[in-house]
Chains A and B, each alone.
Chain A
Amino acid sequence: MSAPATVGPVKVRRATKSSWIGLAVIVPILIVLALGPYIISRGLQQNLVILFSLIVLGTMWNLLAGYGGMVSIGQQAYIGIGAYGLVYIADSLGIDPFLAVPVAVIIAGLLSLPISFLAFRLSGGYFAIGTWVIAEVVRLITMQIDAVGGGAGLTLTALNVLSPGRRIAYVYWLSLAAVVIAVLVTYLIMRSRLGLGFTAIRDDATAAGSLGVRVTSSKRIVYLVSSMGCALAGSMIAANTLHITPESVYSVQYSAFMIFIVVIGGMGTIEGPIIGAIVFYALQQWLSDYGVWYLVILGVLAIVVVLLAPRGLWGLLSLNGRIKLFPVGYRLVNPLERFAVVKTKEPAA
């Protein structure tokens, strides 16, 4: 065995060939999508808003579970708070709806902090049901408040000053921006020191803690961000459907959707939830004639993926993580062997 002839100065890189190609594909797609209201019908725009909200929800649930290791069945609490926040602030307080969205998101973030102290008393599967109970409490309390319509819900009227075409276009752009923000925020968090800590926590919380990762406060930050993201998606849903009820926006169905999206797409990757949301949305359209059977099929698919292909669709498409559109790790590059593959242990999802 001879030693490698050239062990020159080693460089550390984040970007990969695939990430540059990815960027070259993503940017034009985003530009085309941004031109959407000039090109596509209103109906299609409204459908895309649903897809965009699913991408935001999937991305946020992945941040929580895929990176933070917290399986929540209660993020619909924040979807509802975002939806009700937008409608109440815009209609009852008379604030501009597009300003009401960030306000509603911030309120959801502020509420998520005290809630996290309760939810974090539990872990694993009990955390999952605990967050569900909290979401149910938020729903039941909302139903008791007459100012937000009790059980009958609310209708968003503040957007009626706009013509339907404009209203739909603005909501579309808002939703597209929400997708970009959600993915970008996740990407930046995971590239940061905080993100490295999350990966360590997910793999072994005790070991991470002993190495100086501030486990609980890191988890709280990710819970806060995820809750704000879900509130953003909630306000998009409210702006798109215009009528909300406690039963619709606090539905545990959203949690099922988020779990399917992330599990099928690929947990613990940024690309996974995006792919998962697109596949989920396509399946939903395709199987909608089969009523409840489509949820049976999705459930079976999710179980099969968890047991047989735990890295999901993106794991298969990316050749087990070799292709990265959003590089969050580091690679060593030897200048004389620029594209030498450096084997790094991929954290298991």
Chain B
Amino acid sequence: MDWLNAVLQGLLLGGLYALLAAGLSLMFGVMRIVNLAHGVLAVVAAYMGYFLVHNFHINAFLTLIVVIPVMAGIGWVLQMGLFNPSLKSGGLAPILVAFGIAVVITNLLQAFFTADTRSIDAGMLGVQSIQVTDTIYIGVFPLITFVVGVLVIAGLQVYLNRTRDGRAMRAASDDKDAAQLMGIDNRRIYAKATALAIGIVGIAGVFLGIRTQFSPTYGDATLIFAFEAVIIGGLGSLWGTLIGGIVLGVAQTVGAQINPSYGVLFGNLVFLAILAFRPTGLLQKAVNS
């Protein structure tokens, strides 16, 4: 029963990883930027949530009303101010700029919040659980995370398929020059995509902060988990990212069930196995950069 429990918890954890990975997947899909600052931006959102709960005693979930728009704004500014110019420089510039942003933000967080670990207090909802059988309990909060993860992925899919901006994003992704000729302002469409991606990271970050203890350097692990979810699922497929997140979550909880220190290692090994034996990911046609 312990094993079944581990798998179930891993599945729910996968919802959080999918939420973290969705923005990474979106930014790569639309403009081929691998945002190395993705993890640390999630941590920024976690600190924002912590700050609001701690100082103004707002309910942890209500902080999202503030955190999402602020994070989206940060995304917009980063895209307009740094990523768009780096795309013009071409070559390795976008990767290096993203890396620079990650280092700067991580150390700014260290300077303002110190290296102490923190956690967002979500009240009763953070600890309640539903009893399924005698030995299996499902936490209410992990369940909420999972449902939100699925809803966000579905919403993003609908947005990309059905709306005008979504179509523009897909067009800019397929052929940015042709898109420009058709009257799409790539810079603005990129900024919208990044704002959306970082807004989603805002949700993921607050949930992360409720779920675990975090510190400024927690962005490293966060980025790695999000990246693994994307690759396991297959590049360019949002539903793949959800599957990838679930596979990673299950691998980690099952690994931790064997030995508590094996959790992260197991996740990494599953990722490497996918890379070795199915490099296109579980749900994908072709890998391309």
CB distance from A176 to the nearest CB of B (A): 30
Cβ contact within 8 Å between B265 and A300: no
With contact pairs A129-B34, A295-B103 given, residues A69 and B97 touching in the complex (Cβ less than 8 Å): no
- Is B269's CB within 8 Å of the partner chain A? yes
Residues from chain A with Cβ under 8 Å of B100 in the complex = 299-300, 302-303, 306
- Is A208's CB within 8 Å of the partner chain B? no
- Across the interface, B224 reaches (CB within 8 A) one of A133, A141, A144, A303, namely A133
Residues from chain B with Cβ under 8 Å of A328 in the complex = none
Residues from chain B with Cβ under 8 Å of A307 in the complex = 82, 85-86, 89, 93, 97
Chain B contact residues, majority secondary structure = helix
- Is A263's CB within 8 Å of the partner chain B? yes
Q: How large is the interface on B (under 10, 10 to 19, 20 to 34, 35 or more residues)?
A: 35 or more
Which of B97, B99, B220, B279 has the most A CB atoms < 10 Å from its CB? Answer: B99
Residues of chain B whose beta carbon lies under 8 Å from any beta carbon of chain A: 28, 32-36, 82, 85-86, 89, 91-101, 103-104, 106-108, 110-111, 220, 223-224, 227-228, 231, 235, 261, 264-265, 268-269, 271-272, 275-276, 279, 287, 289
CB distance from A129 to the nearest CB of B (A): 4
Which of B82, B104, B110, B224 has the most A CB atoms < 10 Å from its CB? Answer: B104
Q: How large is the interface on A (under 10, 10 to 19, 20 to 34, 35 or more residues)?
A: 35 or more
Residues of chain A whose beta carbon lies under 8 Å from any beta carbon of chain B: 65, 69, 71, 73, 117-118, 121-126, 128-130, 132-134, 136-137, 140-141, 143-144, 252, 256, 259, 263, 267, 291-293, 295-296, 298-300, 302-303, 306-307, 310, 348-349
Cβ contact within 8 Å between B110 and A292: yes
Cβ contact within 8 Å between A124 and B32: yes
A251 to B81 CA separation, bound complex (whole angstroms): 30
Cβ contact within 8 Å between B268 and A133: yes
Residues from chain B with Cβ under 8 Å of A143 in the complex = 261
Residues from chain B with Cβ under 8 Å of A302 in the complex = 96, 99-100, 103
Cβ contact within 8 Å between A121 and B279: yes
With contact pairs A133-B272, A299-B103, A306-B100 given, residues A125 and B95 touching in the complex (Cβ less than 8 Å): yes
A151 to B98 CA separation, bound complex (whole angstroms): 31
A281 to B289 CA separation, bound complex (whole angstroms): 35
CB distance from A296 to the nearest CB of B (A): 5
Q: Which residue of A lies closest to B274 (CB)?
A: A121
A259 to B36 CA separation, bound complex (whole angstroms): 13
Which of B92, B264, B276 has the most A CB atoms < 10 Å from its CB? Answer: B92
CB distance from B157 to the nearest CB of A (A): 22
Q: Which residue of A lies closest to B221 (CB)?
A: A136
Question: Could you name 30 residue pairs across A and B whose Cβ atoms are closer than 8 Å?
Answer: A71-B96, A117-B276, A118-B275, A122-B287, A123-B289, A124-B34, A125-B98, A126-B28, A126-B231, A126-B289, A128-B34, A128-B95, A130-B231, A130-B275, A133-B272, A136-B264, A137-B269, A140-B264, A140-B265, A140-B268, A259-B99, A263-B96, A296-B108, A299-B101, A299-B107, A302-B99, A307-B85, A307-B86, A307-B89, A307-B93
Cβ contact within 8 Å between A296 and B111: yes
- Across the interface, B97 reaches (CB within 8 A) one of A130, A295, A303, A349, namely A303
Residues from chain B with Cβ under 8 Å of A132 in the complex = 224
